[in-house]
C-alpha cells in the first residue's frame, strides 16, 4: 500500500475513533440526564403518594376524635376520653406535615387553608363538648353535637380532604406518566447507544481485517519480489517512517502545536507594541509642528486630549493580550505536567516519611519565616511507596498551608500520622483562613479555586495531589470552616504495589 493509502487509512481510523468517542460521550451524557430525570420523576410520584397518605391519615385522626368524643358522651368511659385526646393531639402535627408536603401546589394550598379553618372549628367544638361532659352537663354537650352536625363541619372537612385526594390522584397520573416516559427514553437511549457502539465496533473490525489483508498482501509481494528488492524495502521503510512521524506529531500536538501559536502571538504583540510607540510618537510630533520652523522631536512632546486617551487604550489592550497569552501558556504547561505525571511509572521503595517531610519543611523554611509560621512534625509511619509522588503530595499541601494563613496571626501547622488496618493516615492541619464547606469539593476540581483570589495559582495543585493519591491507592478529604483553619487527611497503603493501585477511586 502506498504512503497516500496509509495516510487515508489512518485518517479514517482516527475519524472512526473520534466518532466512537463522540457517540459514547453523547450517550453517556444523555443517559446521565435521563436517569436523573427519571429519578426526579419517581421522587415526585413518591411525593404524591406520601401527600395522599398524609391526607388519609389526617382524616383518620379526625374520625378517631369524633368516635372518641361520641363514646365519651354516651358512656363517659375513660378509654374513650383517652382515645379522643390522643387523636386530637395528632391532628395539628398531621396537618402541619401535610402543609409542608403540598406547599409546592398553589391549588392545594388554597384547599388546605379552608381545611385548616374547618378543622380548627371542629377542634373547638370537640373541646367544648368534652368540657360540658366533664362538668356534668351532658344535655349541653348533646346540643352542641347537634349544632356541629347541623353546621356540616365534619362533612366540609371530608369534602375538602376528598377534593385534595382527587387532586393528588390527578398529579399521580401525570407524574407516573412522566416517570414512565423518562425511563422509556433512558432505555431507548441506552439501546440506541449500544447499537451505535456495536456498529462502530463492526466497522472497526472490518477496517482491521482490511488492514490485515493489505498487510498480508504486502508481505506476499515482498517474498515474491526478486527484482529491485532493496528499492522495495527502502520504499516500505520510508512509508513506515512517515507513519511513525505522523504518530509522533499527533502525540506532541499539545506540547508543540498549541504552544507555537502562543509564541508567535507574543512575538507579534511585542512588535505591535513597538510599532504603536512609533505611531504615537509620530502623531505627537505632527500634532506639535511649529508654524514657522521644523517639527520638534516627537519623543519630547507628550500626547494630549484624544491622542493621549487612544495611546492609553492601546497600551491597556496590549496588556490584556499579554496577560491572557501568559495565562494560557501556564495552563498548557500545567496540563502537560499532569499528563506526563499520569504516564510516569511509580517506583516503590522504602521511605522514612518523617525524614522526607522534614526535608520538604526545610525547603519551605523561608516562606514559613515570612508568614511567621511554625511547622510541627509528629512521629509518622514509614511507607513503601513512590518517593517523587509523596514529595509532590506533601510539598503542595504544606505550601498551601503556609500560603493561606491569616495575615497578622502567627501560623501553626501540624503534621500527624497513624496507622490503621494496613493503611497510613496523615493529617496536615493549620490555623489559617479556612475553606467554606460549600467549596470542599470545588477545590479538588481542575482549574477551580475557592475563597478570595489574592494568591497566585491556577487551581491545579489540589487536583494533581488528589490524582496522585488515587494512583497510590489512597483517599483524600478536607475538614474546614471559614476562619477556623483546615485539616487535609490522606490515607495511603503502607505497602504500595501495582495490584493495590486504585486509579478509579
- 195-233 pLDDT, tens digit per residue, is 877 777 787 788 778 777 877 777 777 777 655 666 665
Assign 355 a pLDDT band (cuts: 50, 70, 90).
Answer: very high
The radius of gyration of the chain from alpha carbons, rounded to an integer in Å, stands at 39
Report the distance separating Cα 213 and Cα 421, nearest Å. Answer: 55
Among 37-41, 218-222, 370-374, 430-434, the range scoring the smallest mean pLDDT is: 218-222
Q: What is the pLDDT of residue 252?
A: 46
For residue 341, CA distances in Å to 334, 335, 360, 392, 433 come to 11, 10, 20, 11, 30
> Which residues 6+ apart lie within 8 Å of 346 measured at CB?
385, 386, 389, 471, 472, 496, 498, 501
More reliable by pLDDT, 242 or 428: 428
Report the distance separating Cα 315 and Cα 126, nearest Å. Answer: 83
- Across the range 302-318, mean pLDDT stands at 73
Tell me the three cell numbers of residue 319: 496588556
> Which residues 6+ apart lie within 8 Å of 254 measured at CB?
332, 335, 336, 339
Q: Tell me if the pTM is above 0.95.
A: no
Q: What is the pLDDT of residue 195?
A: 80
For residues 468-488, one letter each, b for 16 or more C-beta atoms within 10 angstroms of the residue's C-beta and e for the rest, the string is bbbbbbbebebbbeeeebbbb
Assign 429 a pLDDT band (cuts: 50, 70, 90).
Answer: very high
Q: What is the pLDDT of residue 454?
A: 53
| Residue 177 burial (CB count, 10 A) | 12
The whole-chain average pLDDT of the chain stands at 76
Assign 289 a pLDDT band (cuts: 50, 70, 90).
Answer: low
Assign 343 a pLDDT band (cuts: 50, 70, 90).
Answer: low
Assign 382 a pLDDT band (cuts: 50, 70, 90).
Answer: very high
β-pair type (411-420, 486-493): unpaired
Q: What is the pLDDT of residue 350?
A: 92
Summarised one tens digit per residue, pLDDT across range 1-23 is 566 766 776 777 677 777 777 77
Report the distance separating Cα 38 and Cα 44, nearest Å. Answer: 10
Top mean-pLDDT range of 169-178, 222-231, 393-402: 393-402
For residue 460, CA distances in Å to 35, 190, 274, 375 come to 31, 35, 35, 24
SS3 assignment for 458-490? CCCHHHHHHHHHHHCCCEEEEEECCCCCEEEEE
pLDDT at 361 over 80: yes
- Across the range 84-103, mean pLDDT stands at 81
| Percent of the chain predicted with pLDDT > 70 | 78
Q: What is the pLDDT of residue 490?
A: 92
pLDDT at 144 over 80: no
For residues 440-457, one letter each, b for 16 or more C-beta atoms within 10 angstroms of the residue's C-beta and e for the rest, the string is beebbebeebbeeeeeee
Report the distance separating Cα 355 and Cα 18, nearest Å. Answer: 48
| Residue 265 burial (CB count, 10 A) | 16
Top mean-pLDDT range of 68-77, 172-181, 253-262, 383-392: 383-392
Tell me the three cell numbers of residue 100: 409542608
Q: What is the pLDDT of residue 242?
A: 65
pLDDT at 309 over 60: yes
> Which residues 6+ apart lie within 8 Å of 479 measured at CB?
486, 487, 489
Helix (H) or strand (E) holding 191: helix 153-224
Q: What is the pLDDT of residue 156?
A: 80
Provide the total of helices (H) and of strands (E) in the chain, helices listed first: 12, 7
Amino acid at each position: 500500500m502506498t504512503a497516500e493509502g496509509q495516510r487515508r487509512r489512518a485518517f479514517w481510523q482516527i475519524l472512526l475513533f473520534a466518532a466512537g468517542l463522540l457517540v459514547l460521550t453523547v450517550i453517556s451524557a444523555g443517559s446521565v440526564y435521563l436517569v436523573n430525570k427519571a429519578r426526579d420523576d419517581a421522587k415526585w410520584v413518591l411525593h404524591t403518594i406520601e401527600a395522599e397518605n398524609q391526607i388519609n391519615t389526617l382524616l383518620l385522626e379526625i374520625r378517631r376524635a369524633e368516635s372518641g368524643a361520641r363514646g365519651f358522651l354516651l358512656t363517659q368511659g375513660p378509654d374513650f376520653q383517652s382515645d379522643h385526646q390522643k387523636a386530637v393531639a395528632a391532628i395539628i402535627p398531621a396537618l402541619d406535615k401535610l402543609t409542608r408536603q403540598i406547599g409546592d401546589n398553589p391549588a392545594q394550598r388554597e384547599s388546605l387553608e379552608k381545611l385548616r379553618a374547618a378543622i380548627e372549628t371542629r377542634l373547638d367544638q370537640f373541646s367544648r363538648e368534652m368540657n360540658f361532659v366533664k362538668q356534668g352537663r351532658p344535655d349541653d354537650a348533646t346540643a352542641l353535637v347537634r349544632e356541629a352536625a347541623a353546621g356540616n363541619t365534619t362533612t366540609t372537612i371530608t369534602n375538602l380532604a376528598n377534593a385534595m385526594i382527587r387532586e393528588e390522584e390527578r398529579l399521580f397520573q401525570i407524574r407516573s406518566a412522566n416517570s414512565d416516559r423518562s425511563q422509556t427514553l433512558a432505555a431507548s437511549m441506552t439501546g440506541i447507544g449500544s447499537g451505535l457502539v456495536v456498529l462502530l465496533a463492526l466497522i472497526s473490525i472490518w477496517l482491521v481485517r482490511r488492514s490485515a489483508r493489505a498487510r498480508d498482501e504486502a508481505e506476499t509481494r515482498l517474498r515474491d519480489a526478486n527484482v529491485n528488492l532493496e528499492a522495495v524495502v527502502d520504499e516500505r521503510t520510508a512509508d513506515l517512517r512517515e507513519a511513525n512521524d505522523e504518530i509522533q506529531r499527533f502525540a506532541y500536538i499539545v506540547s508543540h502545536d498549541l504552544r507555537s501559536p502562543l509564541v508567535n502571538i507574543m512575538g507579534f504583540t511585542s512588535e505591535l507594541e513597538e510599532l504603536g510607540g512609533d505611531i504615537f510618537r509620530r502623531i505627537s510630533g505632527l500634532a506639535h509642528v511649529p508654524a514657522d520652523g521644523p517639527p520638534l522631536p516627537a519623543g519630547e512632546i507628550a500626547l494630549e486630549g484624544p491622542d493621549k486617551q487612544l495611546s492609553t487604550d492601546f497600551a491597556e489592550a496590549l496588556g490584556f493580550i499579554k496577560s491572557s497569552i501568559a495565562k494560557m501558556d501556564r495552563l498548557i504547561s500545567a496540563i502537560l505536567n499532569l499528563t506526563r505525571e499520569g504516564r510516569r511509572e511509580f517506583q516503590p521503595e522504602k521511605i522514612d516519611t518523617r525524614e522526607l517531610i522534614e526535608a520538604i519543611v526545610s525547603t519551605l523554611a523561608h516562606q514559613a519565616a515570612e508568614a511567621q509560621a511554625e511547622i510541627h512534625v509528629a512521629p509518622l509511619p514509614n511507607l513503601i511507596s513512590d518517593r517523587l509522588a509523596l514529595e509532590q503530595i506533601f510539598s503542595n499541601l504544606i505550601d498551601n498551608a503556609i500560603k493561606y494563613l491569616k495575615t497578622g496571626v502567627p501560623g501553626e501547622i501540624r503534621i500527624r500520622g497513624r496507622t490503621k488496618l494496613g493503611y497510613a493516615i496523615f493529617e496536615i492541619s493549620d490555623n489559617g483562613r479556612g475553606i467554606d464547606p460549600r467549596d470542599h469539593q470545588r477545590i479538588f476540581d481542575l482549574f477551580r479555586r475557592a475563597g478570595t483570589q489574592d494568591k497566585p495559582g491556577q487551581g491545579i495543585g489540589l487536583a494533581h495531589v488528589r490524582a496522585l493519591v488515587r494512583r497510590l491507592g489512597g483517599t483524600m478529604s478536607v475538614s474546614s470552616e471559614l476562619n477556623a483553619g483546615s485539616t487535609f487527611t490522606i490515607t495511603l497503603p503502607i505497602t504500595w504495589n501495582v495490584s493495590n493501585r486504585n486509579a478509579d477511586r
